[in-house]
A and B are shown apart, each in its own frame.
Chain A
């Protein structure tokens, strides 16, 4: 992503004059994507208060710190300061991961009257039945993995785009799914950080996991799946 384009541009522009170099490397910053529904629209499964804090505060903070880290990276690369470049990787992984993961998460949710909770259609529906037996057993499996995850993290349904195979994975903290394998593409991610459910479900993470399926929207997952496995 941004990291790679910085590096590529650097190689491409090597040997050009420095004015040109600076101009061509104007830094792209990220901003908070709008939610396609109101904060309260997922109630009672997820409260409006949780959605608002989660989107406006948590996701925003990941973006702010991601932009900050990218700016520092940009400077460090310009200065040839390798130790700072390396030092910044953990902040980039955490905050960039937070931005990637939440951006997918919002697309995985929808109010009940807008398709939330409707089972997946088309080829993804078939693939789930083939891989896991049924949607219910996929849900059970993801809920069990999510409940057992120590600390903060995510539980994912992904597709291995080389093997054309569905996988369930968990990642710690804000690690994006791609950290579990370069061929893995996320279809559906469930946030099991406490901030995703604590105000409403407190310590009972399994109830949050049970209820979130009522507002899971499979449209995004189906689109990505069809693109990767035409």
Chain B
């Protein structure tokens, strides 16, 4: 296995300034629907772009005594690094090279019939998201919009904690548990929700096996806990429930979760407007010959702007 060779290298942690995993031309949208035209351009312009291992937003001993430096040295320095390195090797020279990480995840998920790049791409993304879900001195209780939504959708904060904990504990085998914002969408491609309402935009707790994450279901992830054994074995051995409680009580960065929620809401609204606009355009195109010409014009404008 190629991973084995890179795994065996000595423990060094160069804290390089990096562009982060998303790569320079990636939209910072956590959940964009890939657009064909965009891919082609990026792919031709950025043949040599590589994903870089981004360090957590704190030092490796900053989460002690709850999560040890040793755990982070292996988890970030070895596991996360290997996913990123293997992804770069795997996509080099393929049509996936140069795509934003989120797009690689969605394309290689291939509606559940996963392609080889999926595991490395999704795990690279998941770990970044996990590091940023924690902070030294985290835990406690969220506030503002986030708390309101949690109370609306789970009944109470305590009820949410229960649901999240049991999702994380009941993920049989390796995987992740998530809090996600489920925007008003049907799971069927090209289908339109006939009765969209504010209530459709809600928070959900989900678990996922191995590398799978909620991006593939078109949800906006807000918070995650890694329940692969490597995430807690050095500190908690078999005691996964203790690790989960510690994560909830001492490490969650509710600021990060709140910021993600605000972004998700804005993006969901933007997406809705875009869909609305497209729908109108479609209607006009069907009834009006001139509209066809306008559509082509805007297409050309777009390419020039690149």
**Contact surface of A with B, Cβ cutoff 8 Å:** 53, 57-58, 61, 90, 94, 144, 147-148, 150-153, 172-174, 193-195, 198-199, 202-207
Contact = CB atoms under 8 A, between A and B. Distances in A.
Contacts of B4: 147, 204-207
A53 B74 CA distance: 21
Contacts of B233: 194-195, 198-199
Nearest to A147: B1
A144 B175 CA distance: 22
Contacts of B1: 144, 147-148, 206
B32 interface: no
A116 to B, nearest CB: 24
A58 B228 contact: no
Given A173-B173, A194-B228, 7 more contacts: A58-B238, A150-B210, A151-B210, A193-B173, A193-B229, A204-B7, A206-B7
B224 interface: no
A39 to B, nearest CB: 14
24 contacts: A53-B237, A57-B237, A58-B238, A144-B1, A148-B1, A150-B174, A151-B173, A152-B229, A173-B172, A174-B172, A193-B229, A194-B228, A194-B229, A194-B230, A194-B233, A195-B233, A198-B230, A199-B233, A199-B237, A202-B78, A203-B78, A203-B82, A204-B7, A206-B4
A203 B230 contact: yes
| In the complex, the 6 A-B pairs of residues with the closest C-beta atoms, listed nearest first | A151-B174, A173-B173, A194-B229, A151-B210, A206-B4, A152-B173
Nearest to B233: A198
Interface residues of B, number: 24
Contacts of A152: 173-174, 229
Contact of A203 (B79, B172, B175, B211): B79
B234 interface: yes
B53 to A, nearest CB: 14
Contacts of A144: 1
A210 to B, nearest CB: 10
B3 interface: yes
Interface string B238-262: 1000000000000000000000000
Most buried by B among A58, A144, A202: A202
Given A147-B4, A148-B1, A204-B8, A198 B229 contact: yes
B228 A151 contact: yes
A195 B172 contact: no
A18 to B, nearest CB: 35
Contacts of B234: 198-199
Contacts of A193: 173, 229
Interface string B1-44: 10110011000000000000000000000000000000000000
Contacts of B3: 147, 206
Contacts of A203: 7, 74, 78-79, 82, 230
Contacts of B196: none
A174 B7 contact: no
A152 B1 CA distance: 17
A83 B82 CA distance: 43
Contacts of B209: 151
Nearest to A210: B4
B184 interface: no
B108 interface: no
A151 to B, nearest CB: 4
